[in-house]
């Protein structure tokens, strides 16, 4: 919980990681990809405040103690949601697996939610693994990385029939939330890999599932926003938006937040630190202090209320994951129901 000016904010970090990218975990023969991936993540960290930058050595393999300190002791987070990314073609034991996350989570009851994942190209074996993970770790959410390389394939779409088979299975297993992360590759390579229209199809066909598009579809914010206005079960995951723009590019942060609040709305935006890319402390504190600047160029955009910030920082994700929020952090009823799908008005005019 974070308290500022007498207001209490319940913080759900809905997108964070516990990875192992140390050289010992690089797949022989694929070292350049493993190295390229973690160096790319490390460069993202440079977009945060200088005093929060880590050495590449720490970044490759931060410890459990680092994580507990940065996220919970210093970072104000009440509940953190692990989002796995496997990348087993490059990292021998995986970059950030359900098992690795859950093993840490089990040592600290009540602080973590362990999401799992699937890869539709894994076939029946993958379905069985999904079933096992959901049963063992109680996962209610999935993280899907569509650009993952798998046995010669450079990615998949949510709208692929093979993926629908997995989404159907996931729904049957009680999964509620699907976090989607787009990446640079997908078959065929001539198509725009960041295109979000496959999420649009899946969201329409699986209305019982919520689709949280991480980093708000960056670099396709415009396509994401337009799609999100059409689909009541599509949410904006703010990972990268706060971490990558709020400090480094405040003007663009303001414009992106203004657009998201207009098109997607404050009830469907969720905070995620993307730890260990960025520590949550400066993001939470900075966002609570942040306001849409008084600037002619930004005059189209709404100001943020305290209720808006409380929803984005935790109440919306708490709703998606049925997390119990202490009464002192809840909003009075008059401020609306966070995360309520039927609040999502379709935008038909400006």
Partner 1 sequence: MSSRTDATVSPAPAPAPAPADVAGAGKDGLADAVWVALGTVRDPELDEPITTLGFVASCTVSAPGRAQVRLRLPTYFCAPNFAFLMVADAYDAVTAVAGVRAAEVILDDHFASDAINAGVAARAGFVASFDGEAAAELDELRATFLRKAVLAGTDLVCRPLAAAGRRPAELAAMTLGDVPASPGLARLRRRRADLGLPADDAAALLIDPATGAPVAPDDVPLHLRRAALTRTGIEANTSICSGMLRARYPQGADPRRFS
| Shortest distance (Å) from residue 338 CB to partner 1 | 24
3-class state of residue 147 by DSSP: coil
| Shortest distance (Å) from residue 346 CB to partner 1 | 12
| Shortest distance (Å) from residue 306 CB to partner 1 | 17
Beta-bridged to residue 180, according to DSSP, are: 144, 213
Q: Which of 22, 25, 176, 187 binds partner 1 (CB under 8 A)?
A: 187
DSSP H stretches of helix in the chain: 31-45, 56-60, 64-67, 98-107, 123-137, 161-172, 197-205, 221-230, 241, 250-263, 280-289, 306-310, 316-320
Of 40-59, binders to partner 1 (CB under 8 A) are 40, 42-44, 46-47
218 near partner 1, judged by CB under 8 A: yes
CA 267/CA 221 separation, integer angstroms: 18
CA 180/CA 159 separation, integer angstroms: 12
23 near partner 1, judged by CB under 8 A: no
* From 31-39, 76-84, 117-125, 326-334, span contacting partner 1 (CB under 8 A): 31-39
289 near partner 1, judged by CB under 8 A: yes
∠ CA 53-18-78, nearest 5°, is: 85
| Shortest distance (Å) from residue 193 CB to partner 1 | 6
Q: For residue 188, is the peptide bond before it cis, meaning its omega torsion is within 30 degrees of 0?
A: yes
CA 202/CA 207 separation, integer angstroms: 8
* From 74-82, 129-137, 161-169, 189-197, span contacting partner 1 (CB under 8 A): 189-197
* From 178-186, 231-239, 269-277, 302-310, span contacting partner 1 (CB under 8 A): 178-186
3-state DSSP percent of the chain in helix, strand and coil, to 5: 45, 15, 40
313 near partner 1, judged by CB under 8 A: no
* From 75-83, 199-207, 231-239, 287-295, span contacting partner 1 (CB under 8 A): 287-295
| Shortest distance (Å) from residue 227 CB to partner 1 | 12
* Residue 243 or 338 with smaller CB distance to partner 1: 243
Length of the chain: 350
326 near partner 1, judged by CB under 8 A: no
198-233 b/e with 16+ CB inside 10 Å = b?
Answer: bbbbbbeebeebbbbbbbbbbebbebbbebbbebbb
DSSP string, 77-145: -SEEEE--B--TTTBTT-SB-HHHHHHHHHHSTTTEEE-B---GGGHHHHHHHHHHHHHHH---EEEEE
What x/- string results for residues 98 through 117 when contact with partner 1 is judged by CB under 8 A?
--------------------
| Shortest distance (Å) from residue 274 CB to partner 1 | 13
Of 237-256, binders to partner 1 (CB under 8 A) are 244-252, 255-256
Q: Which spans of this chain sit near partner 1 (rule: CB under 8 A)?
A: 32-33, 36-37, 39-40, 42-44, 46-47, 154, 183-185, 187-194, 218-222, 225-226, 244-252, 255-256, 259, 262-263, 286, 289-291, 293, 296, 300, 347-350
């Amino acid at each position: 919980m974070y308290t500022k000016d007498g207001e209490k904010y319940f913080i759900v970090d809905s997108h964070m990681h516990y990875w192992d990218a140390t050289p010992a975990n690089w797949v022989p023969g694929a070292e350049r990809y493993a190295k390229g991936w973690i160096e790319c993540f490390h460069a993202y960290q440079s977009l945060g405040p200088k005093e929060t930058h880590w050495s590449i050595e720490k970044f490759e393999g931060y410890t459990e103690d680092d994580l507990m300190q940065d996220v919970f002791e210093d970072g104000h987070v009440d509940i953190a949601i692990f989002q796995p990314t496997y990348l087993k073609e490059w990292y021998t034991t995986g970059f950030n697996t359900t098992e690795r996350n859950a093993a840490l989570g089990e040592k600290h009851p009540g602080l973590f939610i362990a999401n799992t994942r699937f890869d539709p190209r894994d076939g029946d074996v993958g379905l069985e693994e999904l079933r096992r993970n959901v049963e063992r770790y109680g996962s209610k959410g999935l993280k899907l990385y569509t650009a993952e390389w798998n046995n010669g394939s450079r990615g998949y779409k949510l709208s692929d029939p093979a993926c629908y088979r997995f989404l159907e299975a996931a729904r049957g297993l009680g999964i509620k939330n699907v976090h989607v992360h787009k990446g640079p590759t997908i078959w065929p390579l001539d198509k725009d890999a960041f295109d979000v229209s496959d999420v649009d199809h899946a969201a329409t066909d699986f209305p019982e599932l919520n689709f949280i598009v991480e980093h708000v579809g960056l670099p396709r914010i415009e396509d994401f926003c337009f799609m999100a206005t059409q689909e009541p079960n599509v949410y904006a995951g703010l990972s990268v938006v706060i971490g990558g723009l709020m400090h480094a590019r405040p003007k663009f942060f303001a414009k992106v937040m203004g657009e998201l609040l207009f098109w997607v709305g404050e009830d469907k935006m969720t905070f995620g630190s993307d730890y260990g890319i960025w520590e949550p402390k400066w993001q939470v504190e900075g966002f609570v202090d942040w306001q849409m600047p008084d600037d002619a160029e930004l005059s189209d955009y709404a100001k943020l209320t305290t209720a808006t910030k409380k929803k984005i920082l935790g109440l919306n994700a708490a709703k998606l994951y049925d997390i119990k929020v202490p009464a002192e952090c809840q909003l009075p009823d008059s401020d609306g129901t966070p995360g309520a799908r039927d609040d999502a008005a379709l935008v038909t005019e400006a």
